[in-house]
Structure 1
């Protein structure tokens, strides 16, 4: 509803939701990520390098967990939320979000480690059920990908 403001405590809960998503991904807790989605929630991912827009749709907590398990081959990730804007949805139990993120994906390459840095934006729709905010839909839109050499990490040099 236009003109409505999301109360501070609800905004804080939405901030927690998006940061918890990033933390769970970095901790490889894909079941934890899946629990952040509504039962009918959808995660829509890009298909780089061919497609930077969200095109691969994964439905329900099982689909979300399965999609993120592709990160099992990436030994280290670090997601940093760079900005978060929340807007009211069509009713008090819904909201929308525009979330900026820089996501590092560190993998071995040629006896060293490389960091594929994704600069991305999440376009989210949230739903509140039984007092808890969940993702109804999360779309990942890539802006650019950089590749950097890693000098040192907890994985080694």
Structure 2
């Protein structure tokens, strides 16, 4: 390991990467999300998204390898009228060489659905455990694991979807 701290310009690029993931998921740009992952054949373990299976499994159990599989896995969110992902913390550590890094990202993800004629918000508190690879001068997700900590549900009084 070169050092214990990520240089500020690399930290900023990694910070941007995790926020772009959240924004593109909320925009339903799953092809755009998939482009944030490495391709098969890239260095390391590129392009892997590992998702939980709530409410049975809160840890990562379903592996999706490669950009097409990542986009397909996330496309289930098309059935959720509104999501809002808020990044609440980001810690980055250097990897074994300058072209790799690790991250622990905390997030609160809101999933708004219609239930019994009203909107309900399933709120997920989660952690992403990430491995990144710098490919062609750009940081990409080599592996992203989603770990759920808790899920709550609450009524939505109003949203851009209506009341």
Q: Distance in 2 between matches of 1:133 and 1:57?
A: 21
Q: Distance in 1 between matches of 2:3 and 2:29?
A: 37
What is the Cα deviation at residue 80 of structure 1? 0.1
Q: How do residues 3-18 of structure 1 correspond to structure 2 at under 5 angstroms?
A: 3-18=3-18
- Cα deviation, 1:53-96, whole Å, max 9, x if unaligned, reads 00000000000000000001001000000000000001000000
Aligned residues: 157
Contact kept in structure 1, 2:35 and 2:67, CA below 8 Å = yes
Q: Distance in 2 between matches of 1:54 and 1:106?
A: 22
Taking structure 2 as the reference length, the TM-score comes to 0.95
What is the Cα deviation at residue 129 of structure 1? 1.1
1:84 aligns with 2:55: no
**4+ long deviations beyond 4 Å:** none
Q: How do residues 24-103 of structure 1 correspond to structure 2 at under 5 angstroms?
A: 24-40=24-40, 41-103=47-109
Taking structure 1 as the reference length, the TM-score comes to 0.98
Gaps of 5+ in 1: none
Matched residue SS, 1:37: coil
Q: Distance in 2 between matches of 1:3 and 1:39?
A: 27
- Residue 109 of structure 1: aligned partner: 115
What is the Cα deviation at residue 2 of structure 1? 6.5
